[in-house]
Amino acid sequence: MSFLNEDKQVIAPLYGKVDIDFVKGEGSYLFDAEGNKYLDFVAGIAVNALGHQNEGIKKAVVDQMDSFNHISNLYPNYPQIELAKLLLKVTGFDKAFFCNSGTEANEGAIKFARKYFNRKGENNRQKIITFVNSFHGRTFAALSATGQPAIREGFGSMPADFVHVPWNDCAALKAEVNKDTCAIMFESLAAEGGVMTLSKEMVETVNTLQKEFGVLVIIDEVQAGLGRLGTFLGFEKYGLKPDLATLAKGIGGGLPLGAVLLRQHIADELKAGDHGTTFGGNPVACAVGASVVKQIVEGNLMKNVEERSAQIRAGLAKFAEQYKFIKEIRGAGLIVGVALTDEMPVGNVITAAREEKLMVLSAKGNVLRMLPPLNISAAEVDEALEKLGKAFAKVAG
């Protein structure tokens, strides 16, 4: 019996899973039960930032497990402290809060933003503006912030005071921001929503509104952070000055870990009991997080991200000249998107690529998405382009 058949018997049917029995990962590759070797350009949806079986991550897990694996947040937790110091040093933020996932990080940031104005006596500031096709998570506040109605359908009433405006629509954003606005919340690159990058005009508009109205800026770095855009946090590419930033996915190197980074003026308005988590900042996960951050920064991986991104985009540009169903090459760093015409369903390309032993995924709007590990090699990128070329040829007929 395959894993998928067993899965269907015991796991809730909430995912469309592929019938492959993966049994091992190594570096940028996955291996199935039959010994087939797949080049992994999904990376656990940007989670495996350093690939599979990274030695630094394995050592961090073992070393921390030799001490303790959990003590709760009732006591100081040195792996948390070490990771916080590393993150604050490289990002310039002032405080960190640790949780388990991206949706929890975004929930935390939303709560911190509203509590900030509440403590300042500005209870009128409740409205949070997000963007159409954004994705911030699946718990209720994060879901309400997500600008995709189809994902919210069927779950009843959502938390109020979230407004969604079109991506990069400066006029629509200006029309919504006023003295009652709590925050503007957005991703530094909207990966799930179609691999959409920020325009220069949108960045300037956000900076102006932040200064004029005192509105808080929350940047979701869950997928685009941790070096994936070629800067440690994605917003650094654009000259934004967020009050809060959220992290997850790559920071845990495969373990559940999320974080909210805060400026001091936000932290000053928080008190014990305002928020909390049982497992958040787990010592093992934080030890891994520290290893991941050190390897990204000390290993100069952001330089590799820029070089491999240019290599991928150059290869895709050649494909675009050959195949008319390729509309646009999108993204930045190692979040690369290929927008396809409606006549070429992205699922067809994903299936053809998988048949060539290349793992890729989709994004909203019929977009092919690639999320290789940050330490992907030039030779592995060449291999991926060769496999993708064969997939394009196959679907083109």
Cα–Cα distance list, 314 to 18, 311, 318, 329, 385 (Å) = 30, 5, 7, 10, 10
Instruction: Give, for 23, the enclosing helix (H) or strand (E).
Output: strand 22-26
Residue 317 and residue 201 share a domain: no
User: Does residue 332 carry a pLDDT above 80?
Assistant: yes
Total count of domains within the chain: 2
Instruction: Average the pLDDT over 214-236 and give the result.
Output: 98
Asked if 168 and 195 sit in the same domain, the reply is: yes
- Residue 287 to residue 141: CA distance in whole angstroms: 29
- Domain final position from 247, 266, 298: 298
Which structure tokens are listed for 68?
């303790």
360-387 average pLDDT score: 98
Name the DSSP letter for residue 147.
Answer: B
Last residue of a domain, one of 261, 283, 298: 298
Can you say whether the dihedral through the CA atoms of 304, 230, 334, 310 is positive or negative? Answer: negative
pLDDT at site 156: 87
What average pLDDT does range 72-84 have in this prediction? 97
Q: Which of 273, 298, 323 is the last residue of a domain?
A: 298
Q: Residue 160's pLDDT is what?
A: 86
Helices (H) and strands (E) in the chain — how many of each? 14, 17
CATH number of the domain residue 99 falls in: 3.40.640.10
Q: Are residues 125 and 230 in the same domain?
A: yes
Same domain, yes or no, for 214 and 274? yes
| Residue 270 and residue 309 in one domain | no
- Give the domain extent around 116: 55-298
Residues 49 and 123 in one domain: no
Kindly state whether residues 241 and 350 are assigned to the same domain.
Answer: no
CATH of the domain at 43: 3.90.1150.10
pLDDT at residue 232 tops 80: yes
Residue 297, C-beta contacts closer than 8 angstroms, at least 6 positions apart: 86, 90, 232
The pLDDT assigned to 125 comes to 97
Same domain for 105 and 35, yes or no, is: no
Least confident of 140-149, 373-382, 383-392: 140-149
Quote the pTM value. Answer: 0.96
Which pLDDT tens digit goes with each residue over 135-156? 999 988 888 888 998 888 898 8
Q: What pLDDT does 164 receive?
A: 97
383 vs 253: CA distance, rounded Å: 24
Tell whether the model's pLDDT for residue 60 goes beyond 70. Answer: yes
- For residue 1, pLDDT over 70 is answered with no
Interacting residues of 127 by C-beta distance below 8 A, sequence separation 6+: 161, 162, 163, 176, 180, 181, 182
Q: Give me the amino acid identity at 52.
A: H
Report the C-alpha gap between 113 and 109 in whole angstroms: 6
Other CB atoms within 10 Å distance of the CB of residue 120: 13
> pLDDT digit string (tens) for 243-278?
999 999 999 999 999 999 999 999 999 999 999 999
Residue 274 sits in the same domain as residue 350 = no
| Same domain (yes/no): 190, 274 | yes
pLDDT of 261 reads: 98
Confidence bin at 397 (pLDDT 50/70/90): confident
Q: How does the average pLDDT of the chain come out, rounded?
A: 96
- Are 256 and 320 in the same domain? no
